[in-house]
A and B are shown apart, each in its own frame.
Chain A
Amino acid sequence: MISVFQQHWQELLTGLGNTILCSVIALFFSLVIGSTFAIFEVLPSKFLRIIGRIYIEVFRNIPLLVIGMFFYVVVPQYVLPMDGFTAGTIGLTLYTSSFIAETVRAGIQAVDSGQMEGARANGLSFMQAMWHIVLPQAFKYVIPPLGNQFINLVKNSSVLAFVAGFDLMYQGDMIASATFDTFNTYIAVGVLYLIITLPLSYYMRYLEKKLA
């Protein structure tokens, strides 16, 4: 395993960098998009609730690989040219955002309805009440499941390998097929994934304890 690191550190480092970059971008946008659709689902407007529902059901129930391939193959052909990294990151963002939306919605619904009512009676608009009162409490409730989503996201970023995203998995595949040393290569790749996911996992636990 050490020899794989010694001989291929450049490719592995590139892969690690791309995986982290993709994960950070997808994490940020899936959190924003997911929270937005979670709010859609609890809005008084029936129309927006349905829009939210459709979005979530579509992206939650199609395999990530299909979404990624769609952006890698179909979208560049008819709409907008993009490379594998971009296509994979967009696919991962949309896919993860649907799960985050479900998680955040559950959090919003776990907040006592008196919080929203008190805020509205106090003169705050729905969005002000959501932003200042309900969401901060909702996120506190859902830190553990959200942590799971984040870890899944990092692991799912390996889908980039299928769309030539030059991520960790992709580089691993390249090294393995060039050297035939599959055993050591995939162990090295696994270790590098752990280097990202373990600190993330412990950070989420720390956050959970700190905010409890």
Chain B
Amino acid sequence: MSIIEFKKVEKYYGKFHALKNINLQVEKGEVVVVIGPSGSGKSTLIRTINGLEEIEEGQLLVNGYDLADKKTDLNQIRKDVGMVFQHFNLYDNKTVLENIMLAPKLVLKRNEKENKETALKLLESVGVSDKTASYPKQLSGGQKQRVAIARSLAMKPKALLFDEPTSALDPEMIDDVLNVMKEIAKEGMTMVVVTHEMGFAREVADRVVFMDKGEILEDAHADEFFEAPKEERAKQFLSKIIKH
């Protein structure tokens, strides 16, 4: 069963046509990597999935809820769909542990003891368990992003969205974050990942979606895509990215 399904979705910013006739399905447990040049609509696409961006036309079903329907309670969707941002967006006024425990406490009403145990376990699994009492500004970029991932996982989501999670990181921090993401993928999490990390895409992705100018130009199995992309634009993009 698809957990995320776009049907003929259109999105505009004023006159700018940001998403054009998007049709996409993500199955439970699938890892889908979205790639494409900047300004191609990748981030917009992923941000529509938890309602951070509204869609103007078409249908977008997430875990059974229709995002095009104004009556849909977005908080219900956000409980089930976590998001990891390029700039981490950790709560600057909260410690690492508080960052992770806040939403489960307020939204899921998880009791204090269970909440703390879950949080500590998650921090250990992402390798930041020595920083529980630190504030975000005391962490490195890589640590911040791993805490942000733990924060999303604490809600026990059915799917996780990653919007260029390594783009703001120093090169030597990137692997730490990608390794955590690989672990999560291995455990069967449904993931939609916007990234420029082709190595990660190749190794982890089930499918690769290539976008340009608001359109999905290619949607293929990862192996097929990297072996022989069908679209000319995708070929150009890959040759440019992989050359270096």
Q: Give the B-binding residues of A (Cβ under 8 A).
A: 112, 114-115, 117-125, 128, 132-133, 136-137, 140
For residue B52, which residues in chain A have a CB less than 8 angstroms away from its CB?
117, 120-121
B103 in complex: contacting residue of A114, A122, A137, CB < 8 Å:
A122
Chain B residues within CB distance 8 Å of chain A: 50, 52, 74-75, 78-79, 82-83, 85, 87-94, 102-103, 106-108, 148, 151-152, 155
Q: Which residues of chain A are within 8 angstroms of B107 by Cβ–Cβ distance?
A: 122-124, 128
Which of these, A120, A122, A125, contacts B155 with CB under 8 Å? A122
Contact A123 B85 (CB under 8 A): no
Contacts of B50 in A (CB 8 A): 121
Q: In the complex, what's the smallest C-beta–C-beta distance from A153 to chain B, in angstroms? A: 26
Find out whether the CB atom of A117 lies under 8 angstroms from the CB atom of B106.
Answer: no
With contacts A114-B87, A117-B52, A117-B85 taken as known, whether A123 is within 8 angstroms of B92 at the C-beta atoms is no
- Chain A residues with CB under 8 Å of B78's CB are 120-123
Q: A121 to B148, alpha carbons, bound, how many Å? A: 11
Q: Does B75 lie within 8 Å of A125, measured CB to CB? A: yes
Q: A140 — nearest CB in chain B belongs to which residue?
A: B93
A-B contact count (CB 8 A): 63
Given the complex of chains A and B, what is the CA–CA distance between A118 and B136 in angstroms? 13
Determine how close the nearest CB of chain B comes to the CB of A112; give it in whole angstroms: 8
Contacts of A119 in B (CB 8 A): 91, 103
Are A133 and B85 interface neighbours, CB within 8 A?
no
Partner of B92, one of A115, A117, A128: A115
Q: How far is the CA of A137 from the CA of B75 in the complex (A)?
A: 23
Q: Are A117 and B102 in contact (CB under 8 A)?
A: no
B93-A122 in contact (CB<8A):
no
User: Beyond A121-B78, A133-B93, is A128–B106 a contact (Cβ under 8 Å)?
Assistant: yes
Are A115 and B79 closer than 8 Å at their CB atoms?
no
Q: How far is the CA of A119 from the CA of B89 in the complex (A)?
A: 8
